[in-house]
Amino acid sequence: MSNITITFPDQSTRSFPSGVSTIEIAENIGPRLAKAAVAARINSELADLSLPIDTDAEIEIITGDSDAGHEVLLHSTAHLMAQAVKALFPNAKVTIGPAIENRFYYDFDIEGTFSDKDLEKIEAKMRELSERDFTVQRVELTRNAALKKFDDMGETYKVEIIEQIDEKDTISAYSQDDFIDLCRGPHVPTTGKIKHFKLLSTSGAYWRGDENNTMLQRIYGTVFSSKKELDEYLQKLEEAKKRDHRKLGKELDLFFFHSLSPASPFFTDKGAVIYNGLVRYMRELYLQYGYGEVISPQVFDMELWKQSGHYEMFIDNMFSMEMGEREFGLKPMNCPGHTLMYSHGLHSYRDLPIRMADFGRLHRFEKAGVLSGLTRVRSMAQDDAHIFCTPDQIGDEICDLFEMVQTVYDTFNFKDLSIALSTRPEKALGEVKLWNKAESTLTDVLEKSNYKFTIDEGEGAFYGPKIDFHVKDALQRDHQLATIQLDFVLPERFKLKYIAEDGSEKRPVMIHRAILGSLERFFGVYLEHCGGDFPLWLAPVQVTVLPVSEKVQGYAESITQKLNAAGLRFQLDDKADKIGAKIRQAELSKINVMLIVGEKEAEAGTVSVRRRHQGDLGPMDVAELIDLLNDEIKQRSS
RNA sequence: GCCUACGUAGCUCAGUCGGUAGAGCACUUCCUUGGUAAGGAAGAGGUCACCGGUUCAAGUCCGGUCGUAGGCUCCA
């Protein structure tokens, strides 16, 4: 038998007999590597560890703790789960079971549904199947053989999938014990490699994601290469639950919902301080960047929405009302109203760009099933603005916007900005020519900027392409916040114009843009990001005065008068509680600054300062403290 | 909209086999006047989401409605 040369990622080479498998190579290198191995990469192609290699090749041994290995592990665990389900529910039909980020799922067509008890049983069965350590065997089939095999088994979904596989592609299946599943692979060599897994939840899911198809039963689960990683992941899920903005919103008394106005938040006085703080901050930036703020109507004759295209594209998401002869629509967006404001007067090219900001309340009738806390609501406001400009002003405007976005995200301590350009969707208004022009303008500006960006084909708004900004929060979750959308359609529909240098009438371009996005959603995302520990400038209660006993009530009141005069948001906790209880209460309410005043302080004319999560900072002069706090507020430090 | 789960005091949650409702925190009052994360006692607080059905009897069983939550493109 001849020998072949294997090249490793570090470029070292070794000779092996032809027909050697990656697992044999791994064993040759060391038993620990062989144990951790889940798959191989042979000449950059993912493959099973058992695949015989008969020519010179570059190989990489993939372990479960790498990204590629984790994906293999996730996918193999989905198979193990399918095997367990088929063992416990022989009538279940399998469909698909891919790996997704940190999790996997598998959709089954079964009579009835899976209960939590079923999940436990399935997980127990999976443990049993894992311990029996079956060999996972790859089989390659001809198209007809595959069709016959899965048809004989009654796996109609698999038959449907095989029918759609490209005739040129190899059809493969993987078996473990008596279970066989159509799959491209690769997979772990034996079921015993799958140890640290947990089933997470069940839900309904439509076959191929189409609500006209059969509803399948989906089970989500996760798996890691070590118990430590699994525990860390589960812990992260717990942490996310603790920081859930709905939970924090209730605990900190910031907002609530009522069934008589579904999905429409009520912000309490405390929540409104934060909400208005966000608005005030944006207004300051507007002043700096040359925006003018307007106030526009809430309700418009349907005529407007017909002209704008919303009637055609968005009516299912609009609140509407009939009043006598006329039909009105509650505005879901500000843009059509803004075109009316633009058209109210004549504009010279000298007036452009006009940057029209509006915090107007918007209503969108979102489907009941998609509503969620503050992140998906029916009543909201945006830090919305429309920029009316000439086509050659677009570049400068977008550069300014990039700068503004960066400033805002720095203020809120959001790192890891990523940018996506979304292009023309299937359901779109306007000529393809206009779309192409808009898309190439945005691509140009993006390429000139230093930002990295990806392209989301077909994800644009129906009136124009857009640039979306994503950030990562404190738990590394991705959120889309800012958006910049180019629009050549609305100006056309509303016949907007400006008088150009040569006296002719020209069509302006509209840029729709929001930096925080919806204030409601931003509120929720930021609440989770900061975990309820708001910076001083946004905190609903900035300072609380805690008298040690009733003897110093008068002195405590004199302190609150000074705080009041300094324009700070304060509280006085003059309940008959002991100081420890008052401090505990203030810490739980996440109040930034606690001022403890007792007889010592009253005599010296000072306050003892305690900052949230920091403990006792010692006595300080009140005037001095107020200066420090006002500085901190002015700088918006986080 | 569809699937599943849930809805009991302001909040967090018990409530077994169907027999008319409970705790802790918060609240009110009283005692305690204290020094950096919970002093003590008493009291008040409920149309068990809503509507209907079964039953001698429903928080509990059945049906419906409303609301809330997790999902519903991530190609075998």
**Are A602 and A503 contained in the same domain?**
no
Whether residue A79 is contained in a domain is answered as yes
Question: What angle (nearest 5°) sits at the alpha carbon of residue A25, between those of residues A22 and A31?
Answer: 110
Q: Which residue stretches of A566-621 are H helix?
A: 579-588, 599-604
CA-to-CA distance for A144 and A526, rounded, in angstroms?
A: 55
**Are A373 and A500 contained in the same domain?**
yes
**Are A425 and A346 contained in the same domain?**
yes
At residue A112, does pLDDT exceed 90?
A: no
At residue A185, does pLDDT exceed 90?
A: no
Q: Note the pLDDT of residue A567.
A: 96
**Are A282 and A228 contained in the same domain?**
no
Q: Is the shortest CB-to-strand distance from A183 to strand B under 7 Å?
A: yes
Size of chain A, expressed as the number of residues it contains? 638
CATH at A358: 3.30.930.10
**Are A374 and A507 contained in the same domain?**
yes
Q: Is the shortest CB-to-strand distance from A161 to strand B under 7 Å?
A: yes
How many domains does chain A fold into?
4
Q: Note the pLDDT of residue A571.
A: 94
Q: Note the pLDDT of residue A300.
A: 97
Of the residues A500, A528, A556, the one at which a domain ends: A528
CA-to-CA distance for A207 and A212, rounded, in angstroms?
A: 9
CATH at A584: 3.40.50.800
Q: Note the pLDDT of residue A436.
A: 86
Of the residues A475, A495, A528, the one at which a domain ends: A528
**Are A588 and A512 contained in the same domain?**
no
pLDDT for A591-633, tens place per residue? Answer: 999 999 999 999 999 999 999 999 999 999 999 999 999 999 9
Does ipTM come in above 0.95? no
Beta strands in A432-495 (DSSP E): 453-456, 466-472, 478-487
At residue A150, does pLDDT exceed 80?
A: yes
Q: Is the shortest CB-to-strand distance from A368 to strand B under 7 Å?
A: yes
**Are A383 and A457 contained in the same domain?**
yes
At residue A255, does pLDDT exceed 70?
A: yes
**Are A223 and A301 contained in the same domain?**
no
Q: Note the pLDDT of residue A1.
A: 63
Cβ-Cβ contacts under 8 Å for A225 (sequence gap 6 or more):
A36, A38, A63, A64, A65, A69, A70, A73, A196
CA atoms within 13 A on the CB side of A122: 30
CA-to-CA distance for A30 and A612, rounded, in angstroms?
A: 52
Amino acid making up residue A163: E
Residues of A annotated as catalytic are: 335, 364, 382, 384, 386, 466, 512
Report, as an integer, the average pLDDT of A492-515: 95
Cβ-Cβ contacts under 8 Å for A145 (sequence gap 6 or more):
none
Q: Note the pLDDT of residue A537.
A: 97
Q: Which domain holds residue A592?
A: 543-635
**Are A295 and A391 contained in the same domain?**
yes
Residue A230 CA, nucleotide B75 C1', distance (Å): 27
| Phi, psi values for residue A179, rounded to 5° | -95, 135
Q: Note the pLDDT of residue A313.
A: 83
Q: Is the shortest CB-to-strand distance from A248 to strand B under 7 Å?
A: no
Whether residue A175 is contained in a domain is answered as yes
Whether residue A250 is contained in a domain is answered as no
Residue A110 CA, nucleotide B63 C1', distance (Å): 25
Whether residue A249 is contained in a domain is answered as no
**Are A57 and A75 contained in the same domain?**
no
**Are A576 and A471 contained in the same domain?**
no
Among the listed residues A342, A261, A339, A283, the one whose alpha carbon sits nearest the alpha carbon of residue A307: A339
pTM for this entry: 0.91
- Which residue's CA is nearest to the C1' of nucleotide B12? A251
Enumerate the nucleotides of strand B whose atoms come under 7 Å of any protein CB: 1-5, 7, 11-12, 27, 30-39, 66-76
End-to-end CA distance of chain A: 69
Of the residues A11, A33, A63, the one at which a domain ends: A63
Whether residue A534 is contained in a domain is answered as no
| Phi, psi values for residue A630, rounded to 5° | -65, -35
Among the listed residues A202, A225, A228, the one whose alpha carbon sits nearest the alpha carbon of residue A215: A202
Q: Note the pLDDT of residue A488.
A: 83
pLDDT for A63-102, tens place per residue? Answer: 988 889 999 999 999 999 999 999 998 889 999 999 998 8
Backbone dihedral region for residue A585 (phi beyond 0: left; psi -120 to 50: alpha; all else: beta): alpha
At residue A506, does pLDDT exceed 80?
A: yes
| A261: nearest nucleotide, CA–C1' criterion | B67
Whether residue A276 is contained in a domain is answered as yes
Whether residue A535 is contained in a domain is answered as no
| Phi, psi values for residue A611, rounded to 5° | -100, 145
Q: Is the shortest CB-to-strand distance from A48 to strand B under 7 Å?
A: no
CATH at A91: 3.30.980.10
**Are A93 and A116 contained in the same domain?**
yes
Cβ-Cβ contacts under 8 Å for A515 (sequence gap 6 or more):
A282, A383, A401, A404, A405, A408, A481, A482
Cβ-Cβ contacts under 8 Å for A235 (sequence gap 6 or more):
none
Q: Note the pLDDT of residue A380.
A: 95
Whether residue A538 is contained in a domain is answered as no
